[in-house]
Amino acid sequence: MERFEPFGGIVWRPTPEVLARSHLKRFMDRHDIASFDELMQRSTGDLEWFWNAVLDDLHIEFYEPYRQVVDLSRGIPWAHWCVGGKLNIVYNCLDKYVGTPTENRTALRWEGEEGTIRVLTYGDLYREVNRLANGLRRLGLKKGDAIGLFMPMTPEIAVALLAIVKIGGIILPLFSGYGASALTTRLADAGARALFTADGFFRRGQVVPTKATADEAVANVPSIEHVIVMCRAGNPVAWNPARDSWWDEVVAGQAPVCATDRTDAEDALMIIYTSATTGRPKGAVHTHCGFPVKSAQDMAHGLDMQSLDTIYWVTDMGWMMGPWEVFGTLILGGSMVFFDGAPDYPGPDRLWDIAERHGVTVLGISPTLVRALMRYGDTPVKAHDLSALRILGSTGEPWNPDPWLWFFNTVGGSRLPIINYSGGTEVSGGIVIGNVLVPLKACAFSGPVPGMAADVVDDEGHSVRDQVGELVIRGPWIGMTRGFWHDPDRYLQTYWSRWPDVWVHGDWAAVDADDLWYILGRSDDTIKVAGKRLGPAEVESVLVAHPAVSEAACIGVPDPLKGEEVLCFCVLKPGHAPDEGLGEELKEQVARELGKPLKPRAVKFVRDLPKTRNAKVMRRVIRAAYLGLDPGDLSSLENPQVVEEIRQSAG
C-alpha cells in the first residue's frame, strides 16, 4: 500500500468562543462525554443510545413513538430503523412550528440571476406547501407515487419537494442540467406518475429551455400522467393540454391548510439516482426517519448549524446536497439561501455578493468552484464584507492544497474552519467530516461523523494508518440507503460483497499520525465532473447508439478546474474512418443526451479496448495507460497489445 504524507501541519484551532457555542460540545456535555474520541466510541458501540440521543437532540416528533431504534434481524445491510414509529418528516420541517416564534422566522431567501429576490418565512413556506399539496391531491396524486423534480433552484422547487412529502409521495430529484436520455432512464425506472419542471431558466443571460427537454424525456415514459410547469423564464413552450398544467393553475383556489399523510417512519421518502460504473443508474431509496435525520445531524454536529444561522450550499436539487440543505436546515429551524444562476455572472464577485447581502453564516462550495473563482484573484472577495461568515464547508471531490489554502486564507481570513464533508447519496450525507472541536490541517477531515463506524483498510480488510487504503464502514447508521429501487441484489453486490457486514464505499482514504482523515479519490471507475458523479456506462450507451461506433469506454481524467473531465475511447464499425469531425459529432451527442456539463473533453479512436477474458472492459487500465501511470497486472487481459495504442493516443 502507498504511504500517505499529510499536506503540512495544523492551520486552524478552535477558540474558546467557538467551543462555547458549539452544538456538538453541548451534545457531548449533555451526555457527560469528555472527548471526541469517547463520543466516537459510544456512538458506534451503542447504537440504541446514540440514535435515541440524536433524535432527541434534533427534537424529532413522532405521531406514534417507535418501539426500538434499530432491528438488525435481517442483517446489517437491511437494518430497520425507528421500528413501529409513525413519522412524516414534513411535520418536523414545517407543521410543528405553526404557532411558535419560528413561524415568523425566515426559512428561505432566494435570488435569481436577473436580480429578483424573494423571502419566505416558515409560515409562508408552510402555506405554500399546503396549497400545492392540495393541488396534487386534486390531480389524483397520492401516497407512494414517485414524482420527479426537474427544475431550477427557485423557491418553488423547495415547495414542490415538501408538498410531495406532505401527501406521502416519493421525491425523485433530477439534475437541472440533464439531457432527455438521462431523464428518461430515471423517470422510467422509478415509474414516476408526475414531473415538475419549468418553461426555462437563465444562465449567463441566456434562457435554457427546460420544458423542451422534459417533453422529449416524458414522451418515452408512459407512467407520467401529469407535467406541472412553473413559469420562470417566460419563453414559449409546447403544450399538451391532456397532460400539462401550469403551476399557478394547480395551486389556484387551494386552501392554505392541508392534512399531512401519517406515514410510517420507514416509508419511502425519496429515490435519488447515483451513477454506477456499469449498468443503469442506481436508485438509492431513503425513508422519512433516515435521510432527513442524518442530514440534520451532520449539519449540526459537523457544520455547527444552529437556528440563527443562514446556510448557502452551492448545489442543484438533483444532487444529494439539495434535499440535504432543505431537510437539514428546516429540522434545525435555520435559514437557507437558494441562488438560480451562475456564481460568477454578471461579475466574478457574484457569489461573495450573495453571501454578503443575504447574511450567510455557513457557506458550502466545491473544490471545483473554488478553483474556478481563484483565477479572478483576491479582489472580488475583498470587495465584500464577509464578516458574517463563521463556517466554510466543502464537498464534491478531494482537495489539493493550493485552492484549500486560498479558500481558507482569502475567503475565511485564516480564521474560519473549512469543514470538509464526504460521503454520498447512498449514505445520506457524510462518512467523514470536519467539526469545530478538532484542530485542522489543509485538506483534512476531523474524522468520521459521529455514529459512523468508518475505517481505512488494506486489501485484506485490516485497519491501516499512515497509508492509503479503502474507506469502509463497519456498522449500520440511520441514513443508510434502504437498498436500490427494485434491485436488492445489486445493492448487496455494490456495497456489501467484499467482506461480511462491511460497507465498501469506493474511495481511497488515509488517516495520519494525528488521527486526521483524508479522502484521496475514487477506487472504482465512477467519474466525478465538478462534483457530479457519472457512471461511464451512461456515456458509453450514448456513444454506441451512434451508427459509426461499435464499442466505447469512458474514463475520468484530471482537470484543474472541474476535478475530472470525461474522456472517451471509441472503436468504430467497419466502413467508418476516424476523423476530427466525427469526434466533435460524438462529443455533441453526449452533451445533448446527458447535458452540456458532461460533454467529454475528447473522443479518441482506437482499434480495440483492453478486456478480460470474460469481456469486461478494464477502464482502470485505460486510465493508467492514457495518463502514463503503471497499469498494474495485465495478466487477465485478452489483448494486452492495445494498451500501447492507448498510451500513444495521449501524445
pLDDT tens-digit series, residues 404-424:
999 999 999 999 999 999 999
Q: Would the pLDDT of 222 be above 80?
A: yes
For strand 429-433 and strand 447-448, is the pairing parallel, antiparallel, or unpaired?
antiparallel
317 within 8 A of 305, measured Cβ to Cβ:
no
Identify the pLDDT of residue 411. 98
Q: Report the C-alpha gap between 396 and 79 in whole angstroms.
A: 27
pLDDT in tens, 627-651: 998 877 675 577 888 899 999 988 7
Instruction: Please give the Cα distance from 335 to 326 (Å, whole number).
Output: 9
Crossing angle for the helix pair 321-332 and 155-166, to the nearest 10 degrees:
70
CB atoms within 10 A of CB 649: 16
Q: What is the CA radius of gyration of the chain?
A: 24
Output the pLDDT for position 71.
98
Binned at pLDDT 50, 70 and 90, residue 279 comes out as: low
Q: How confident is the model at residue 396 (pLDDT cuts 50, 70, 90)?
A: confident
pLDDT bracket for residue 267 (50, 70, 90): very high
pLDDT digits (tens, 9 = 90+) for 533-567: 777 877 887 898 899 998 899 999 998 888 899 99
| 308-327 per-position pLDDT tens digit | 999 999 999 999 999 999 99
Q: What pLDDT is attached to residue 562?
A: 87
Would you call 134 helix, strand, or coil by DSSP?
helix
pLDDT tens sequence across 434-478:
999 999 999 999 999 999 999 999 989 999 999 989 999 999 999
pLDDT single digits (tens) 63-122? 999 999 999 999 999 999 999 999 999 999 999 999 999 999 999 999 999 999 999 999
**If you average pLDDT over residues 391-410, what whole number do you get?**
91
H or E element: which one contains 124?
helix 122-138
Helix, strand, or coil (residue 370): helix
Q: State whether residue 275 is helix, strand or coil.
A: coil
Q: Residue 246 in 3-state DSSP? A: strand
Domains with residue ranges and CATH for the chain: 10-87+267-522 (3.40.50.12780), 122-251 (3.40.50.980), 528-649 (3.30.300.30)
Average pLDDT over residues 124-144: 98
Q: CA–CA separation, 548 vs 571, rounded Å?
A: 9
Q: How far is CA 290 from CA 71, 306, 401, 488, in A?
A: 14, 20, 34, 18
